[in-house]
Amino acid sequence: MNDETKKAAALTGAAVVFAALAVVFLTAGMRERPQHPIFLVDPVHLDTSPVRMNYDTLTDARYDTSDYDCYLCHSRAERVELQFDDVGDLILKEHDYITFAHGPARAANYCFNCHNRDRLDQFRTQYGRTLSFSQSSELCGSCHGVTYRDWVADAHGRTSGYWNLAMGDRKRLDCTQCHDPHDTRFPSLAPAPGPHSMRDRIPAQLATDGRNDDE
Amino acid sequence: MSDMHSTPGPREPARPGNDNGMSRRSFLRLSGGATAFAGVAALTAGLAPLRELASFTSLEKFLQKHYKEMTPREMERVLDRIAREVERQYGMRPHVRDLKPMDGVEFVYALNLSRCIGCRRCVHACVAENNQSGDPALEYIRVVKMPQGTFDLTKGEHNYEPESVPEEGYFYMPVQCQQCANPPCVKVCPVRATWQEPDGITVIDYDWCIGCRYCQAACPYFARRFNFKKPVIPKERLNPNMSYLGNRPREVGVVEKCHFCIQRTRAGRYPACLEVCPVGARKFGNVLDPESEISYILREKRVFTFILKEEQGTLPRFFYYLDK
């Protein structure tokens, strides 16, 4: 085999290799990238609305507030008498949807600590001040003074809007928008999904199969 | 090819195969041409990925000055370029601004450890607000579940997934950028792509970051995240309210972190993590204003019992406090 034959063979080989490379590179560029689901934030976890509604939002939203209309059932002339069972628990009768868990050892297990016995559609503080249903936070403050002071300073409870009051308004929630006044502990919540390493089990509705079409 | 001509004749006895139609010389010429052609084709195909590179490194961006050296006019042009790039990539025109720090404002964050229930709403609100990549998923906030009675972080747990929170016997501690007054991340940056602003926010210029990740290594709080891949954000999830130093979409190879929602807070609003917190454990405001809730908390609450990694001397602007 002489030099020229070798040269020809080498050149042919190189041409074949280059052509193969060209094909490989081109197809590699065209081939779809592996598609796998992207983790997206579930909008459920972005909800900024409070966990409960206060009296004002209930009436504003025209919800059924008949529960607050005490004299639909009670008589104005008759004084309400409370009844207790053998272990000293209040018999709730028609109000049995209420769970009593206010204070340690259910210490506040007595309606007229807060409700006005003489005007059932009002509140009455321990010092005899009467308040409307819309003023529930002041009622809470009549016992929980330190927390009330924090709340007035925006240090207790949720706020939203503007930290800079010169630039916009701030919204502060009523006590009852987080706490059920009869069962005051903040309700447990299901936690949002954990960090990335946990996300091999992505729920189908959170996954999308598309990538950005930025080309 | 030239040495083919100089090849001496006598060493070239004719072979029967080469006589019909194609001489050795013409075959060599043909195969040489084919080789050259295939080589060019292979080179072109091999360099094809560079087209993608060219699409995001525009000349405009390449010639851009450092953030602090830009005149307002130059910044306007840069913001317009960013808006155009976002529009091209995501098909929506964003509202990109460069909000400046306000006079007499220093931001401080406080988190009530006795209120936090570990629901991780803040983590997800942050991702949605700040256009973090969904693949791989980047998050600025980590929530650490800790057994009550200790601040030993080695006993912490990130991957808790119970039916409901809070769990008995544990407390929860969200950790994010502490916006240190003495930030170790800023000191190590070799190109000054990250610095502390007058209002206390440590920011990153994503166009200036070279991706060396020194800052990530320097941060004692693991607060910085690196984009190993081009961030993936579905178009419909992109937050159009953007800021140059804040939540504009990042490119591959840059570091990002919590910036106190600069696009919100410099416009007077609360950060996204604060507004979503269902228990109101997160508090934010101007510490230089004695009337602000943050000043009230620093005055009234048990704040200085616990500063995260106090021994590092970072002087965080992020305080954990207890009610009682």
Residue B272's pLDDT is 96
| Minimal C-alpha gap between B97 and chain A (Å) | 17
**pLDDT > 60? residue A92:** yes
Position A102, amino acid? H
Q: Do A196 and B267 touch (CB under 8 A)?
A: no
Query: Judging by DSSP bridges, how do beta strands A38-39 and B255-256 pair with one another?
Result: unpaired
Res A106: pLDDT: 58
pLDDT of residue A41: 86
Task: State the DSSP code for A19.
Answer: H
Mutate to test the interface with B, among A164, A169, A172 (most CBs of B within 10 A): A164
Average pLDDT along chain B: 88
Find out whether the peptide bond into B72 is cis, omega within 30 degrees of 0: no
Residues of A in contact with B138 (CB under 8 A): 196
Q: How far is residue B112's CA from residue B152's CA, in Å, rounded to a whole number?
A: 18
d(CA B38, CA A18): 5
Could you please state the CATH topology (level 3) that the domain comprising B107-321 is classified under: Alpha-Beta Plaits (3.30.70)
Q: Residue B2 has what pLDDT?
A: 44
Mean pLDDT confidence for B199-204: 96
Asked if A156's CB is within 8 angstroms of B278's CB, the reply is: no
Return the pLDDT at B195: 97
3-class DSSP state of A185: coil
Asked if B53 is an interface residue toward chain A (Cβ–Cβ < 8 A), one would say no
* Burial of residue A158 (number of CB atoms within 10 Å: 0-12, 13-18, 19+): buried
Residues of B in contact with A167 (CB under 8 A): 267-269
How many alpha carbons fall within 13 Å on the CB side of residue B119?
A: 25
A193 DSSP 8-state letter: P
Residue B191 neighbours by CB under 8 Å, 6+ apart: B208, B209, B210, B212
Closest C-alpha among A206, A189, A187 to residue A43:
A206
pLDDT of amino acid B56: 55
The mean pLDDT value for A88-112 works out to 78
Which residue of A33, A41, A176 is the best one to mutate when testing the B interface, meaning the one whose CB has the most B CBs within 10 A? Answer: A41
User: pLDDT, tens digit, for every residue of B22-67?
Assistant: 677 777 787 778 888 888 887 877 777 666 655 556 788 888 999 9
Note which residues in 112-171 of chain B have CB less than 8 A from chain A.
117-121, 123-125, 127-128, 134-139, 142, 158-166
Could you give the CA distance from residue B210 to residue B208 in angstroms, rounded to a whole number?
A: 6
Instruction: Give the lowest-confidence range in A122-131, B10-19, B21-30, B192-201.
Output: B10-19
Which amino acid makes up residue B139?
E
pLDDT at position A198? 44
**Average of pLDDT values for B275-289?**
96
Q: What is the pLDDT of residue A210?
A: 44
Q: Which of A156, A161, A211 is opposite residue B280, by nearest beta carbon?
A: A156
Cβ neighbourhood burial of B27 (10 Å; 0-12, 13-18, 19+): middle
DSSP code for B25 = H
Query: Which residue in chain B is spatially nearest to A169 when comparing CA positions?
Result: B269
Adjacent-strand bridge partners of B284: B109
Q: Are A177 and A184 in contact (CB under 8 A)?
A: no
User: Does pLDDT of A214 surpass 90?
Assistant: no
| pLDDT at B173 (0 to 100) | 95
CA dihedral A167, A168, A174, A177 (to 10 degrees): -120
- pLDDT for residue A29: 65
**Window 249-278 of B, Cβ < 8 Å to A:** 265, 267-270, 274-278
Residue A197 has pLDDT above 70, yes or no: no
Cβ separation A189–B42 shorter than 8 A = no
Report the range of poorest mean pLDDT among A44-58, A148-162, A198-212, B193-207. A198-212
Q: What are the extents of the domains in chain B?
A: 107-321
Task: List Cβ neighbours of B101 (8 Å cut-off, separation of 6 or more).
Answer: B197, B198, B199, B201, B266
B160: phi then psi, degrees, rounded to nearest 5: -75, 140
- Provide ipTM, 2 decimals: 0.78
pLDDT band at residue B164 using 50, 70 and 90 as cut-offs:
very high
Considering all CA atoms of chain A, what is the largest pairwise distance in Å, rounded to the nearest integer?
126
Percent of chain B with pLDDT over 70: 90
Strand partners, B195: B203
How would residue B70 be classed by pLDDT, with cut points 50, 70 and 90?
Answer: very high
pLDDT, tens digit, 9 for 90 and up, residues B230-264: 898 988 889 999 999 999 999 999 999 999 999 99
Q: What is the mean pLDDT of residues A128-154?
A: 93
- Residue B234 is encoded by which pair of tokens? 């579905």
What pTM value is reported for the model? 0.80
Residue contacts between A and B (CB atoms, under 8 Å): 215
B175 closest CA partner among B24, B307, B1, B28: B307
Are the C-beta atoms of B223 and B144 separated by less than 8 Å?
no
C-alpha distances in Å from residue A190, one per residue of A159, B196, B319: 22, 37, 26
Contact check, Cβ <8 Å, A46/B90 = no
At A211 the pLDDT is 43
Number of H helices, E strands in chain B: 11, 11
**pLDDT of B73:** 95
Please answer yes or no on whether B7 and A4 come within 8 Å at the CB atom. Answer: yes
Q: State the pLDDT at residue B86.
A: 93
Interface of B with A in 170-209 (CB under 8 A): none
CB contact under 8 A, B165 and A214: no
- Count the Cβ atoms, other than its own, within 10 Å of residue A76: 9
Confidence band for A1, pLDDT divided at 50, 70 and 90 = low
**Chain-centroid distance, C-alpha B54:** 21
Cα separation, B270 vs A18, in Å, equals 60
User: Can you give the residue ranges of every domain in chain A?
Assistant: 53-177
Asked whether the predicted pLDDT for residue B124 surpasses 70, the reply is yes
> Which one has a higher pLDDT value, B6 or B106?
B106
